[in-house]
């Protein structure tokens, strides 16, 4: 575990990166016990406090769990965001859509851009109704979301979501019971302040942004969305067959 002590990156972050590399690369299996703090500190030539910081950050990412008196273990496999050849909502998105754990952070109207007007097939002079939400899938995974709807077609959807706390249940009220995924774009960037606060991360910690267009069963666009996930919280798998 070679460390660059002259680098601007703190030593504990370098230790974190090395352990994360082994976990994500399959070199350390799910359920496997990691070396003790003492052993890791000896290997790295640092004090135990530095190693502990790295392990706490790994736990915060959901990659490891500490069991009192037993040690630190690699958790089960992380959630996967599967992108398949058939255009459909992913299992992860569906889990977040179905769970009644959503919180409406903000809702507002804004003029549509030419780009979103084209994606949603609405007039360029039209108006968008935007929902900012915080949703949860499972016990650990949080997502901060931006959902852009045609304001005329989906008037009142913000109040419905605030009441039902589930995007699937909300869309069902608007006769959209089955969503098909038309396209997904994957980006990374630094978080906005509101995103960092909601996801419990630092402003210098990158996030994954999954942008997508969902349609109804007849191919009519329903929404354009941005799902913001903390970096390392999910694995993206692209299926080609």
Q: How confident is the model at residue 239 (pLDDT cuts 50, 70, 90)?
A: confident
Q: Rounded distance, CA 105 to CA 145, Å?
A: 9
Neighbours of 106 (CB within 10 A): 11
Q: Give the per-residue pLDDT at 1.
A: 55
Phi/psi at 103 (5° precision): -125, 125
Residues 63 and 123 in one domain: no
Q: Rounded distance, CA 194 to CA 174, Å?
A: 29
Residues 108 and 166 in one domain: yes
Tens of pLDDT along 148-205?
Answer: 999 999 999 999 999 999 999 999 999 998 888 888 899 999 999 999 999 988 888 8
Residues 38 and 146 in one domain: no
107: enclosing H helix or E strand:
strand 103-111
Q: How confident is the model at residue 241 (pLDDT cuts 50, 70, 90)?
A: low
Burial annotation 53-77 (CB, 10 A radius, 16+ → b, else e): bbbebbeebbbbeeeeeeebbbbee
Q: Give the per-residue pLDDT at 2.
A: 67
Residues 115 and 208 in one domain: yes
Give me the sign of the Cα torsion angle 212, 105, 229, 161: negative
Q: How confident is the model at residue 23 (pLDDT cuts 50, 70, 90)?
A: confident
Q: Is the pLDDT of residue 129 over 90?
A: yes
Q: Give the per-residue pLDDT at 49.
A: 92
Residues above pLDDT 90, as percent of the chain: 45
The answer to the question of residue 1 being in a domain is no
Q: What is the dihedral of CA 193, 196, 202, 207, to 10 degrees?
A: -110
User: How wide is the angle at C-alpha 20 spanned by C-alphas 230 and 6, nearest 5°?
Assistant: 100
Residues 53 and 21 in one domain: yes
Residues 121 and 234 in one domain: yes
Instruction: Please identify, among 44, 74, 104, the residue that sits at the C-terminal boundary of a domain.
Output: 74
The answer to the question of residue 2 being in a domain is no
For residue 41, give its domain range: 11-74
**Of 92 and 118, the one with more pLDDT:** 118
The answer to the question of residue 95 being in a domain is yes
Number of domains in the chain: 2
Q: Give the per-residue pLDDT at 139.
A: 63
Tens of pLDDT along 48-84?
Answer: 999 999 999 888 877 888 998 899 999 876 777 777 6
Q: Give the per-residue pLDDT at 120.
A: 95
């Amino acid at each position: 575990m070679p460390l660059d002590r002259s680098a601007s990156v703190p030593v504990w972050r370098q230790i974190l990166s090395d352990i994360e590399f082994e976990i994500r690369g399959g070199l350390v299996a799910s359920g496997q016990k990691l070396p003790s703090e003492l052993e890791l500190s000896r290997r790295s030539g640092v004090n135990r406090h530095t190693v502990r910081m790295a392990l706490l950050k790994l736990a915060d990412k959901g990659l490891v769990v500490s069991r009192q008196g037993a040690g630190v273990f690699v958790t089960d496999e992380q959630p996967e965001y599967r992108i398949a050849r058939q255009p459909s909502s992913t299992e992860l998105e569906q889990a977040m859509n179905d769970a009644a754990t959503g919180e409406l952070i903000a809702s507002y109207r804004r003029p549509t851009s030419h780009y979103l007007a084209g994606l949603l097939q609405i007039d360029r002079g039209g108006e968008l109704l935007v929902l900012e939400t915080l949703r949860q899938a499972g016990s650990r995974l949080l997502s901060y979301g931006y959902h852009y709807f045609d304001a005329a077609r989906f008037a009142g959807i913000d109040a419905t979501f605030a009441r039902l706390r589930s995007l699937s249940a909300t869309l069902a009220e608007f006769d959209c019971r089955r969503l098909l995924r038309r396209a997904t774009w994957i980006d990374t960037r630094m978080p906005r302040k509101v995103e960092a606060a909601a996801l419990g991360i630092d402003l210098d910690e990158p996030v994954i942004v999954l942008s997508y267009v969902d349609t109804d069963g007849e191919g009519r666009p329903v929404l354009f969305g941005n799902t913001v996930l903390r970096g390392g919280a999910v694995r993206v798998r692209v299926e080609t067959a």
